[in-house]
């Protein structure tokens, strides 16, 4: 694995100055040119568009590091988590400053200025990336101000698909913002531990009465653990399927059994076939949640296996 890059990045600059930006915009900063990806390979023209959920690289919050990893994987498709495109000061500050009267839990998160969000997103695009989605984003407050701040964050980033985990009672208010911003919500199922949406079918049942732009991000590993037939779920989601998080499990009931894609029991060929049959236009984002501090060997193996499956299906 490539050693972590030690140079100062724009993320490091933002990290040190985030709390000072409580009420004002951060000052403009000089930005070094980002490394440029080679032209997208023919793989991006395949019927299955393989990308990365940046949560895979959560231990490497530097934008420069993420770009380096993505160059190695030769995919330009990126679902950005907030540690790689900060939304609030909590996403970039290691530990809030403590005083004799204030504990860390008392420090309120500060929204990152929208011009900084826009500049960060632009730097990813300048490096050759397509930002397919943002998230996972949590909508737990049934309040306009909380929801609008997150929609404005995505608007500033130029990202119109929000992978999210809302509370069910927030959905009516979210629908109002979906119509106003013309964004798509891809609600992420999160397995048996999730009281709102353990299975993609829980999402489908909840969203069917709302605007069609409120749909699904099927997390295949969590869906399997929740007892769903993942191939059938893809067909049943149909046009409301806006994102896929792919992972593999050695045991379909155990979260901790995750392995590199191809080593487990996930029916990758049948999943790809279902996505092709349903004319799925979104990306299939690898979310590799194990070996946090050294993910690349498993990520590379996963991409090699998925590309091999596609080659075996006749897609070169």
Residue 29 included in any domain: no
Residue 16 lies in a domain: no
**Rounded to two decimals, what is the model's pTM?**
0.84
CATH of the domain at 91: 3.20.20.150
Q: Is residue 25 part of a domain?
A: no
Residue 260 lies in a domain: yes
Quick count: other Cβ atoms within 10 Å of Cβ 158?
14
Within-domain flag for 240: yes
Enumerate long-range contacts of 90-98, CB under 8 Å, 24 or more apart.
92/11, 92/14, 92/15, 92/18, 92/61, 93/15, 93/18, 93/19, 94/15, 96/19, 97/19
Q: How many domains does the chain have?
A: 1
Residue 268, pLDDT score: 98
Question: For 228-244, b where at least 16 C-beta lie within 10 A, e where not — what string?
Answer: bebbebbebbeebbbbb
Is 192 part of a structural domain of the chain?
Answer: yes
Is residue 67 in a domain? yes
Euclidean distance between CA atoms 160 and 156, whole angstroms: 10
C-alpha span between 12 and 7 (Å, rounded): 9
Helix segments in the chain, DSSP class H: 10-17, 63-73, 114-126, 144-157, 171-181, 200-207, 220-225, 230-237, 268-277, 296-312
Q: Helix, strand or coil for residue 96? A: coil
How many Å separate Cα 283 from the centre of its chain?
11
Residue 157 inside a domain? The answer is yes
- Give the residues of the chain that fall short of pLDDT 50: 1-43, 94-98, 100, 104
SS3 content of the chain, % helix, strand, coil (to 5): 40, 15, 40
Closest CA to 54 of 240, 232, 283: 283
CA separation for the pair 61, 50 (Å, rounded): 22
Range(s) of the domain holding residue 258: 49-95+108-312
């Amino acid at each position: 694995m490539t050693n972590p890059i030690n140079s100062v990045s724009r993320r490091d600059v933002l990290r040190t100055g985030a709390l000072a930006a409580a009420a004002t915009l951060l000052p403009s900063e000089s930005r070094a040119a980002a490394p440029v990806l080679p032209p997208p390979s023919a793989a991006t023209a395949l019927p299955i568009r393989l990308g990365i959920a940046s949560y895979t690289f959560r231990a490497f919050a530097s934008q420069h590091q993420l770009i380096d990893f993505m160059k190695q994987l030769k995919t330009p498709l990126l679902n950005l988590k907030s540690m790689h495109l900060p939304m609030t000061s909590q996403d970039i500050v290691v530990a809030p400053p403590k005083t004799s009267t204030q504990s860390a839990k008392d420090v309120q998160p500060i929204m990152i200025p929208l011009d900084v969000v826009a500049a960060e997103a632009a730097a990813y695009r300048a490096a050759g990336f397509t930002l397919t989605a943002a998230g996972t984003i949590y909508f737990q407050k049934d309040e306009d101000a909380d929801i609008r701040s997150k929609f404005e964050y995505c608007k500033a980033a130029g990202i119109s698909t929000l992978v999210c985990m809302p509370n069910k009672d927030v959905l009516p208010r979210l629908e109002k913002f979906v119509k106003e911003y013309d964004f798509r919500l891809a609600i992420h199922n999160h397995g048996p531990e999730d009281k709102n949406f353990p299975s993609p079918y829980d999402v489908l049942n909840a969203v069917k009465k709302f605007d069609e732009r409120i749909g699904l991000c099927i997390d295949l590993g969590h869906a399997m653990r929740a007892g769903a037939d993942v191939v059938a779920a893809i067909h049943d989601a149909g046009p409301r399927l806006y994102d896929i998080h792919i992972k593999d499990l050695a045991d379909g009931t155990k979260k901790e059994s995750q392995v590199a894609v191809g080593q487990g029991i996930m029916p990758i060929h049948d999943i790809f076939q279902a996505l092709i049959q349903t004319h799925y236009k979104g990306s299939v984002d690898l979310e590799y949640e194990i070996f946090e501090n050294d993910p690349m060997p498993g990520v590379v193996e996963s991409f090699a296996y998925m590309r091999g499956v596609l080659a075996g299906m006749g897609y070169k």
